[in-house]
């Protein structure tokens, strides 16, 4: 039974390895190797032990190579600063398109700093963004919004409704008001940071409620803005780049 399990795991590891899905492959290699080591220790004769030992060494060698590939890939990813220049009237820049590359199931906390989550359409934008997080981040526990408090009570009512909706999904929404906030950025607990010239409100107002782009943000024309995405491991690089 254990031998079959090891065989299935290592067969899957090789398939993923061949497909260059190295992170997933490494998990299967490591689990399969652990089963082989257990079988080696439980082997009743030297011949069996040597056979298992040979297989363990073979798969361990490949697993170590893949670890280097994965580490190198992660470092390269963290060294890249992606800059999106959106021109007036451009389409194809929904929240899924812009933030999707940053999202994964390791994210537990997200912080949004945006002074303009006040008007009704801006709160709607924030709701759309939270919907994306709920859909793509299965371990999400909390969302923090830092914004400027409006001088009308509807803002707190709208955000309060969203807070209750997220609470039903066991996600907390912490709303913090600032009187001097200017920067617009989103920080994810997996290390990714997105800086946005216009914050979440970079879409043009739709021509009407029954026009293309009203519901699908990927089809809605945008306002001109710049969006930068980078990893916190590379924060020093970004600061140096901006100082030049």
E-assigned strand segments in the chain? 82-86, 109-113, 142-147, 172-177, 185-188, 192-196, 225-231
Alpha-carbon gap, residue 209 to 215, rounded angstroms:
8
Residues 40 and 86 in one domain: no
User: Does pLDDT of 83 surpass 50?
Assistant: yes
Based on its alpha-carbon atoms, the radius of gyration of the chain, rounded to whole angstroms, reads: 24
Please say which residue of 49, 78, 107 terminates a domain: 78
Percent of the chain at pLDDT exceeding 90: 65
Residues 90 and 67 in one domain: no
Alpha-carbon gap, residue 50 to 45, rounded angstroms:
9
Please say which residue of 42, 63, 78 terminates a domain: 78
* 14-20 long-range contacts, CB within 8 A, separation 24+: 17/62, 17/66
Residues 57 and 165 in one domain: no
User: Does pLDDT of 66 surpass 80?
Assistant: yes
Residues 71 and 154 in one domain: no
Q: What is the CATH number of the domain that holds 118?
A: 3.30.870.30
pLDDT, position 80: 61
Identify the domain containing residue 174 by its residue range. Answer: 81-243
Residues 65 and 180 in one domain: no
Residues 187 and 149 in one domain: yes
Confidence at 2, pLDDT banded by 50, 70, 90:
confident
Residues 155 and 56 in one domain: no
Residues 58 and 94 in one domain: no
Per-residue pLDDT of 183-238, as tens digits, reads 999 999 988 999 999 999 999 999 898 999 999 999 999 999 999 998 876 554 33
Confidence at 78, pLDDT banded by 50, 70, 90:
low
Please tell me the total count of domains within the chain: 2
Residues 93 and 209 in one domain: yes
Strands 142-147 and 172-177: parallel
Q: What is the CATH number of the domain that holds 38?
A: 1.20.58.80
DSSP label of 48: H
User: Does pLDDT of 138 surpass 90?
Assistant: yes
Q: Are 86 and 202 in contact (CB under 8 A)?
A: yes
Residues 128 and 68 in one domain: no
User: Does pLDDT of 32 surpass 70?
Assistant: yes
Residues 133 and 48 in one domain: no
Please say which residue of 61, 78, 95 terminates a domain: 78
Residue 7 contacts by C-beta under 8 Å, 6 or more apart in sequence? 32
pTM of the model: 0.66
Listed residue (145, 65, 74, 79) closest to 104, CA to CA:
74
Return the ∠ at Cα 138 (arms to 134 and 139), rounded to 5°. 110
Q: In what order do the strands lie in the sheet with 192-196?
A: 82-86, 225-231, 192-196, 185-188, 109-113, 142-147, 172-177
Mean pLDDT over 41-66 rounds to 90
Residues 165 and 239 in one domain: yes
pLDDT, position 73: 66
Cα 221 vs. chain centroid, distance in angstroms?
Answer: 25
Residue 146, phi then psi, degrees to nearest 5: -110, 120
């Amino acid at each position: 039974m254990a031998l079959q399990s090891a065989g299935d795991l290592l067969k899957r590891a090789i398939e993923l390895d061949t497909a260059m899905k190295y992170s997933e492959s490494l998990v299967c290699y490591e689990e399969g190797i652990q089963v082989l080591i257990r079988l080696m220790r439980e082997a009743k004769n030297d011949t069996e032990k040597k056979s298992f030992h040979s297989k363990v060494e073979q798969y361990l060698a490949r697993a170590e190579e893949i670890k280097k590939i994965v580490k190198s890939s992660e470092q390269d990813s963290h060294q890249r600063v992606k800059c999106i220049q959106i021109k007036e009237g451009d389409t194809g820049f929904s929240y899924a398109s812009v933030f999707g590359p940053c999202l994964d199931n390791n994210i537990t906390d997200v912080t949004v700093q945006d002074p303009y989550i006040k008007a009704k359409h801006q709160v709607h934008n924030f709701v759309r963004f939270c919907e994306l997080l709920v859909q793509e981040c299965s371990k999400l526990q909390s969302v923090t919004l830092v914004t400027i408090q409006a001088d009308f009570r509807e803002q707190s009512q709208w955000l309060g409704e969203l807070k209750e909706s997220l609470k039903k999904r066991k996600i907390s929404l912490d709303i913090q008001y600032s009187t001097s906030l200017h920067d617009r950025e989103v920080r994810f607990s997996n290390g990714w940071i997105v800086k946005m010239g216009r914050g979440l409100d970079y879409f043009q107002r739709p021509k009407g409620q029954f026009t293309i782009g009203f519901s699908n943000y990927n089809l809605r024309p945008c306002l001109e803005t710049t969006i930068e995405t980078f990893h916190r491991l590379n924060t020093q690089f970004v600061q140096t780049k901006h100082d030049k």
